[in-house]
């Protein structure tokens, strides 16, 4: 049975300030919860309508579907909700390819970018301090478990890039054609805010400007969605490693 105290705690985790204060976040659905249980993330408590998870009994609370609806952030809750501990921040591995996000605000975009990093073998994702919280429930849901395999760090992006010794690539509406550019298997790829792109402050630290050329005749589309741009950029960088 879920208590009023449980409901209050879980609901509070919808807000970033409470997630940070308590060091907790929620995961919903069988697949997502299973991914986190199989990872290094520490379980706080699991609320489930079915006994199908491998977890210590004292951490599992059996609940009804009606109770699940009371604590879920989803329109159609799926079997269970789990509360996990937010892990301590890890250092960034400066070798290899790093994705950096400059003020990306949409949870769905961040979740998709985390999945893309996982797919293309990018182990480190550096986010500006104003980028949406990766433990936002919508972000967690969109990652489909990839959050367990990508190291996400929030930093002052300017300071981080200033201290970085390698090449820094930025995605812009103008620049070198990404399809013909010579792309290595290491460096930072910066992607910007959904409405404004990469900020002026970060642009001063970019060594090479890349563009994804537009082929549509009308030229009416202003820009690509940032998650779509990330997919194309990572695909091109990784394709070069196959061709080398």
Confidence of residue 115 (pLDDT cuts 50, 70, 90): very high
Q: Give the start-to-end residue ranges of the domains of the chain.
A: 4-85, 97-243
List of long-range contacts for 5-10, beta carbons under 8 Å, 24+ apart: 6/45, 6/47, 6/61, 6/71, 7/70, 7/71, 9/83, 10/71, 10/81, 10/83
97-243 shares the fold of 4-85: no
- The Cα-based distances of 177 to 198, 212, 236 in angstroms read 17, 6, 11
Mean pLDDT of 134-144: 96
Strands of the chain, DSSP E: 24-28, 43-48, 60-62, 80-85, 97-102, 124-128, 151-155, 168-177, 187-192, 208-211
Mean pLDDT of 1-6: 92
The C-alpha atoms of residue 234 and residue 237 are separated, in whole angstroms, by 5
Predicted TM-score (pTM) of the model is: 0.94
The C-alpha atoms of residue 191 and residue 127 are separated, in whole angstroms, by 10
Please tell me the least confidently modeled range out of 98-102, 125-129, 215-219. 215-219
pLDDT in tens, 171-191: 999 999 999 999 999 999 999
Between 3.30.1330.30, 3.40.30.10, 3.40.50.720, 3.40.640.10, what CATH number should domain 4-85 receive?
A: 3.30.1330.30
CATH architecture of 97-243: 3-Layer(aba) Sandwich (3.40)
Q: How many CB atoms lie within 10 A of CB 239?
A: 12
Strands of 106-230, DSSP E: 124-128, 151-155, 168-177, 187-192, 208-211
Q: Which of 80, 76, 64, 57 is nearest to 10 (CA)?
A: 80
């Amino acid at each position: 049975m879920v208590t009023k105290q449980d409901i209050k705690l879980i609901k509070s985790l919808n807000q970033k300030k409470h997630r940070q204060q308590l060091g907790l976040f929620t995961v919903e659905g069988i697949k997502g919860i299973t991914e986190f249980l199989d990872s290094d993330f520490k379980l706080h408590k699991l609320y489930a309508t079915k006994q199908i998870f491998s977890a210590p009994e004292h951490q599992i609370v059996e609940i009804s579907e009606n109770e699940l609806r009371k604590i879920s952030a989803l329109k159609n809750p799926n079997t269970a909700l789990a509360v996990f501990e937010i892990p301590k921040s890890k250092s960034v591995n400066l070798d290899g390819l790093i994705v950096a996000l400059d003020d990306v605000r949409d949870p769905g975009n961040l979740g998709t970018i985390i999945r893309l990093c996982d797919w293309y073998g990018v182990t480190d994702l550096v986010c500006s301090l104003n980028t949406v919280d990766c433990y936002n429930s919508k972000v967690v849901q969109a990652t489909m478990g990839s959050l367990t395999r990508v190291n996400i760090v929030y930093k002052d992006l300017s300071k981080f890039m200033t201290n970085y010794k390698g090449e820094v690539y930025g995605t812009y509406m103008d620049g070198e054609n990404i399809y013909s550019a010579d792309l290595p298997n290491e460096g930072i790829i910066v992607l910007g805010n959904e409405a404004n792109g990469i900020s002026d402050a970060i642009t001063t630290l970019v060594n090479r400007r890349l563009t994804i050329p537009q082929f549509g005749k009308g030229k009416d589309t202003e820009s690509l969605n940032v998650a779509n741009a990330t997919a194309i950029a990572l695909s091109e960088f990784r394709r070069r490693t196959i061709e080398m």
